Each structure stands twice: as structure tokens, then as C-alpha cells.
Amino acid sequence: MQVNAGKIVVLGTGGTIAGKAGTAGDNIGYVAGQVGVQDLLDAVPGLAQAAQGPLVVEQIAQIDSKNMEFCVWAALARRCSEHLNDDSVRAIVVTHGTDTLEETAWFLHSVLDARKPVVLACAMRPATAIAPDGPQNLLDALAVVNAPGAHGVLAVCAGAVHGARQVQKMHPYRVDAFSSGEGGPLGWIEEGCVRLAQNWSQTQAGWALIALEKIAIDAPWPRVEIVMNYAGASGAMVDALVRDGVQGLVVAATGNGTLHHALQAALERAQQAGLAVRVTTRCPLGQVLSLPGVHAALPLAPGLIPVKARVSLLLELLCA
């Protein structure tokens, strides 16, 4: 029965959810991005009922998300934006690999005015596995799409729905691979119903709409790299990247944004030379607490893990 007239658009990008292995028992030796998004949907029992309305499918890419490229992000953002502005579309589901899902979620969250739900669905087992998790994750994504008030960029995996800011892959093998850290997920999907633990709303959505315009005219993307603080760190990596023409640097600092003095000095030199530098922490939980005497020289990227701080800096530089 169709209760919602608006279309749900499913954009395929590849990933393990579309992966194929040689044998059903092989959960890791597969090739990601092999099954077309229409075939993925056709293999899910009860999908039409769960959708509660028409489903339209587009294959944006067919890649392993470890190989995510800016051109795929650009194509995905453009199509999402067009569909969000189309009154006949009520929601978007994106099938995506788990490896860089959190980066794509943060990217889309930043560039889209997502008044409708944009739900990333993934899997940790290939489509050929004895027990693939993709079909249930797709059904759960549709449950999220149809949940009252759902909006914004969201990610669904293993029965939980996460917000774009917090979602992070925490495990390389477990089916329940994602976490939202200390705050927990936004909610859970149980038998087709969403039990919300937190509000859907997320701050800052669409702040980089200008970047989307630049992406639409195919402006070149800036180069932003990530460096890390660790025992015995030096400034050599930073100096080499500066010589190589990098435009922005994100540093995964230790603890509360602390840096080896040699790395700190190199980052300050880089900043003085005109590079944009942002400090994050390599700690998986919490966020750097600003301490004027310690963090005055280099700006923090509050509350963002290094890979998401890099996405934000990329977009900041694109907007500039």
C-alpha cells in the first residue's frame, strides 16, 4: 500500500553492500561495488511495502569507498541537491561503502540544505554472504525515511541511525561497525519503526552551500592533508607538504590538542606562510577544550574527528 505519494530516490555508489565474493562463506575476500543498485533493491524482500511509495534508482558510481574521489562527491552532492529541490521527491537513500561513509556524511551535511532525509545505507558483509546485512540496512533506511519529522543527513547500520556529525566507523569487521561516540546514536530501528533517543535536528547543515556552487562549476578542489602527533614526531612531514604545495593541514594532535614542540613549530611556520591549519585530537571520544595559552597559535576544529575536520577545511577553502 502506498501512503506517501512522493518519490524516494536511491543513489548507488558501490561499497560492500554491492560487493561480491567467490564463495558465500567469504566475508572479507570480496570485491566491493559489483552489484547494481537496482539489483540490490530487487533482492530485498518487502522493500516496496517498506518504501510506502515509489522508488527511483540512479547509479552515481560503482566504487569501493576507500577509493572515494572528489569527482564522486561532486556528482553525489549535485544529484542530492537537485532531488532535494524537486517537490516530487520526499527522501534520498545513498548506498555507500563503510570505509569513508563518515566523510561523505559530513560532506553532504555541510553542502546540502537537507530539509528532507538523506540516509546513507551500507553493509559490512558482501551481497553474496551467507548472511548479508545490506538488505536489512536498506529496509531500516526506508524506515528512517518514513519516520515522522526525519530530515538531515543520516547514516543507518546494524539497527541504529546516526547523525552526520557524530557517526564514525569503529570496527573493521563487526557488522555493528559504527558508533556515535559518547552521545550515542540518534535512535534505533526496530521492526520497521524508529525509536528516537535524540532530536533529528543537527546544527550547521548546509553551511557550505557556496562550496556546492563552486563544485557545480567544477572549480578545482584544494589540497588538504592530515598529519599526526606521536612520540618522536618532527616537523619534517609538514615541511615536505608545504614544499609540495599543500593548501591546508589538519593535525590529529594528542590528548587535549597537544603537539610535539617540533611539529608545533613547523605548523606555525606553515601557517605564517599562508596555509590554513586546524587542530583536532586523535582521541576517538570527546573534543579538545580550548586553553588560550596553549591553543592560541593554531585554530581548533572543535568537535570534529580529523577526517571530518579535513572535509570542513576543504569546503572552507573552496568557499573562500
Q: Nearer to ligand ASP by C-beta: 16 or 180?
A: 16
97 binds ligand ASP (CB under 6 A): yes
Nearest distance from C-beta of residue 269 to ligand ASP, angstroms? 36
Interface residue with ligand ASP among 32, 164, 252, 309 (CB under 6 A) is: 32
Q: For residue 88, what is the DSSP state?
A: T
> Which is nearer to ligand ASP, 30 or 200 (by Cβ)?
30
Least distance in angstroms from the C-beta of 286 to ligand ASP: 26
Residues numbered 58-77 forming contacts with ligand ASP, rule: CB under 6 A = 64-66
Compare residues 107 and 200 and give the one whose CB is closer to ligand ASP: 107
* 46 vs 172 by CB, closer to ligand ASP: 172
16 is catalytic: yes
In angstroms, rounded to a whole number, what is the distance separating the alpha carbons of residues 115 and 118? 9
All cell numbers assigned to 89? 521527491
The least distance separating ligand ASP from the CB of residue 283, rounded to whole angstroms, comes to 24
- Using the contact rule CB under 6 A, the part of the chain among 69-77, 93-101, 188-196, 274-282 near ligand ASP is 93-101
Closest contact distance (angstroms) between CB of 123 and ligand ASP is: 6
Give Cβ neighbours of residue 146 (< 8 Å, ≥ 6 apart).
4, 50, 51, 52, 91
Q: Which of 16, 104, 280, 281 is catalytic?
A: 16
Candidate list 8, 9, 11, 16; residue touching ligand ASP; CB under 6 A: 16
Tell me how many degrees the CA angle 174-194-66 measures, rounded to the nearest 5. 35
Q: Which residue is nearest to ligand ASP (CB)?
A: 97
19 vs 257, beta carbon nearer ligand ASP: 19
Give whole-number Cα distances, 33 to 92, 98, 187, in Å. 19, 12, 28
Q: How many residues sit close enough to ligand ASP to count as binding (CB under 6 A)?
A: 11
CB 85 within 8 A of CB 116: no
Instruction: Report how many helices (DSSP H) and strands (DSSP E) the chain contains, helices first.
Output: 10, 13
- What cell was used for 42? 530487487
15 interacts with ligand ASP by CB under 6 A: yes
Cα separation, 2 vs 189, whole angstroms: 21
Q: How far is the CB of 126 from ligand ASP (least distance, A)?
A: 9
Phi and psi based region of residue 103 (left: phi greater than 0; alpha: psi -120 to 50; beta: remaining):
alpha
> For the chain, where are the alpha helices, taking DSSP H only?
37-42, 47-51, 70-84, 101-111, 134-145, 209-216, 236-243, 261-272, 292-295, 306-319
Instruction: Compose the 118-147 pattern: x for residues touching ligand ASP by CB under 6 A, - for all others.
Output: ----x-x-----------------------
Q: What is the spatial distance between Cα 312 and Cα 157, in angstroms, rounded to a whole number?
A: 24
Residue with Cβ nearer ligand ASP (30 or 221): 30
Element of type H or E holding 227: strand 224-228
- CB contact at 8 A, 95 and 130: no
- Report if residue 195 touches ligand ASP, rule: CB under 6 A: no
Shortest CB 15 distance to ligand ASP, Å: 4
Closest CA to 288 of 257, 261, 315: 257
* Contacts with ligand ASP, residue ranges (CB under 6 A): 15-16, 32, 64-66, 97-99, 122, 124
Q: Catalytic site residues?
A: 16
